[in-house]
Structure formats: C-alpha cells, structure tokens
Structure 1
Amino acid sequence: MAPANRHGSLVIAGESGVLVTGPSGSGKTRLALALMAHCAAHGRFSRLVADDQVFLSVAAGRVIGHAPETIGGLVEARGFGPARTAHEPRAVIDLVVQLVAAKEAPRVHGEEQVSLQGIVLPCLELAERDVEGAVFAIAARLSLSPFG
C-alpha cells in the first residue's frame, strides 16, 4: 500500500505514538503540545514527530508516521508561525484521537476503532478545543500520570 498523507499531528507520549486528527482549527497542534507538556511535567518521555501533515505507511503490521522533510521539527505556534522543536523522525501509531464537535463527542468511551492504511487502531473521539479534558482522557487511555 502506498504511503498516505494525513492531516494531523503525531506525538510520542510515554511509550505510545498518538495521532491527533480533526478539522482545521479544531486544536490538533494545541492538544499535541499540551500532551507533550503533560508528559514532561510527569517525568515521561514525549516528542513531536509531525505537525500538520503526517505521512503514513505500514511495516510489520504496524502503522508508522513521519513528517514530510520540509516540515520535520517544525510545529505551528499560533500567532508566531512555525517554530523549531525537538522531534523524532518517525513513530509507530498506537492511538488515534479524532477531534469532533463537542455535541458529537461521547462522554464515555468503549472500544472504538479506526482503520488507517488497512490496520485497525484504537480511537478516542474527543471534543475539539477542550485541551485539558482531552489530555486527561488520553492520559487515562495510555495509563499516564495520574492514572498509571
């Protein structure tokens, strides 16, 4: 299967790759940065992989994401523009977060899944622009502090 270009942000949070997707202006970058800050504040590894565009491919039955060369290591700091940050060249995607309108976001999650590149992955549908709530939902799903 050919690599696909997906609109979103990919970060490593602890030991997991988290792909954040959603409509333009839904808070993908803000959530990615907040998740990284949450991990750092609790002594867990975190790193940006890609912001805005993520190239997806499959290797050994896992979905791998990486940034296009032109934007590797750049993250959008709204009001400033692209800013350099530490980054990893690629990551296995373990969780997909889909930012949706608040009225569409379930209050409690079951075992939702999404298919990327033909691989089924766990998925959380979270309210767009609710960064604090989303960080805690992701932390709970990944057993990060204060849940792990």
Structure 2
Amino acid sequence: MTAAMQPLHATAVARHTPAGWRGVLIQGPSGVGKSDLALKLIGQGWRLIADDWTHVWASGGALYAAAPATITGKIEVRGLGIVAAPLWPLTRIMLAVACTHEAIERLPEAAAWTWDGISIPQLRLDPRPASAGQVVATALAAL
C-alpha cells in the first residue's frame, strides 16, 4: 500500500455548496479537538466523511476523502463514546484545517497543505472557541 492509500490521522466533514459537496480535512494531534470541531460543523448541517482516520487521494488534480469501511458513519464523542453521525460517503477536499491550542495570528500569511502532489489552502485554528465552526465555514465559502 502506498503512503497515499494509507489512512491519515484526520477527520473530514463536508457540506453542500453551489459547486456540489465540498469538504475540509481536520488535522492535529490526538486530543486537540478534531472530532469536537466536526461535531460543531455537523450541528450546522455538515455531514461526516470520516472521524479520526481518513482515506485521502488525488484524482484529476483534486483531493478526495472517504472513511475506512470499519468506521463509516461513526464519530467519537468524548465522554459519550462512539455514536452514529449524519454521513456523506465521499467528498472533494478543498481546505485543510490544522488544529492547535497555540495562539493564532489575527492576519496570518496564506498557507497550504500538500498531499500526493496536490496543494490546498490550510487554516490554522484553535477548535475550542464556539466560533470555530463558523470560522471553518467562512474559510470554505471564501474559496
């Protein structure tokens, strides 16, 4: 199995846009709040692609994501356990979100994340504030 076919330690969610279903890849170390940010977005009408482990691949100059079969439609809710979530099976990934608990610059330089030769914009974000989901939605809408 090539590196591009191995699941990434990341969560992915998607929403329907005028251009079709578009998603974000939420990355960061264990415990940083990837699943919690995904839950915030799901509460705003987004759909889960994959929680904690995500297959990401390049095709036709774009990146796509899907869940490994063993975790499809499931998300970890800290303090509750593994639960079912509204699912969308596959999406084009348009934005990478790098979760951190470090201070975020107010006006950061543009950043990118590259996988299998394809680069997409990257947003550094502290997922803990209540506004984090809206920040992600705003960033995706601006693309």
Instruction: Report the equivalent of 1:8.
Output: 10
Say if 2:58 and 2:115, in contact at 8 Å, map to a contact too: no
Instruction: Report the equivalent of 2:134.
Output: 136
Whole-angstrom distance in 2 between the partners of 1:120 and 1:54: 17
Whole-angstrom distance in 1 between the partners of 2:90 and 2:141: 22
What amino acid sits opposite 1:124 in the alignment? L
- TM-score, normalised to structure 1's length? 0.83
What amino acid sits opposite 1:18 in the alignment? V
Q: Secondary structure at the match of 2:41?
A: helix
What percent of counterpart residues are identical? 33
- TM-score, normalised to structure 2's length? 0.86
After TM superposition, give the deviation of residue 89 of structure 1 in Å: 1.4
Does residue 80 in structure 1 map to residue 76 in structure 2? no
Instruction: Report the equivalent of 1:24.
Output: 30
For the aligned residue pairs, the C-alpha RMSD in angstroms reads 1.8
Say if 1:56 and 1:117, in contact at 8 Å, map to a contact too: no
Q: Secondary structure at the match of 2:108?
A: coil
After TM superposition, give the deviation of residue 128 of structure 1 in Å: 4.3
Matches within 5 A, 1:1-148: 2-15=4-17, 16-38=22-44, 40=45, 46-103=46-103, 105-130=104-129, 132-143=130-141
Whole-angstrom distance in 2 between the partners of 1:139 and 1:33: 13
Say if 2:11 and 2:34, in contact at 8 Å, map to a contact too: yes
Residues 86 and 136 from structure 1, CA distance in 2 versus in 1: closer, same or farther, beyond 3 angstroms?
A: closer
Whole-angstrom distance in 2 between the partners of 1:117 and 1:101: 27
Say if 2:13 and 2:48, in contact at 8 Å, map to a contact too: yes
Whole-angstrom distance in 2 between the partners of 1:64 and 1:25: 25
Residues 5 and 76 from structure 1, CA distance in 2 versus in 1: closer, same or farther, beyond 3 angstroms?
A: same
Say if 1:62 and 1:119, in contact at 8 Å, map to a contact too: yes
Spell out structure 1 runs of 4+ moving beyond 4 A.
Answer: none
Q: Secondary structure at the match of 1:24?
A: coil
After TM superposition, give the deviation of residue 136 of structure 1 in Å: 2.5
Unaligned runs of 5+ in 2: none
Residues 27 and 62 from structure 1, CA distance in 2 versus in 1: closer, same or farther, beyond 3 angstroms?
A: same
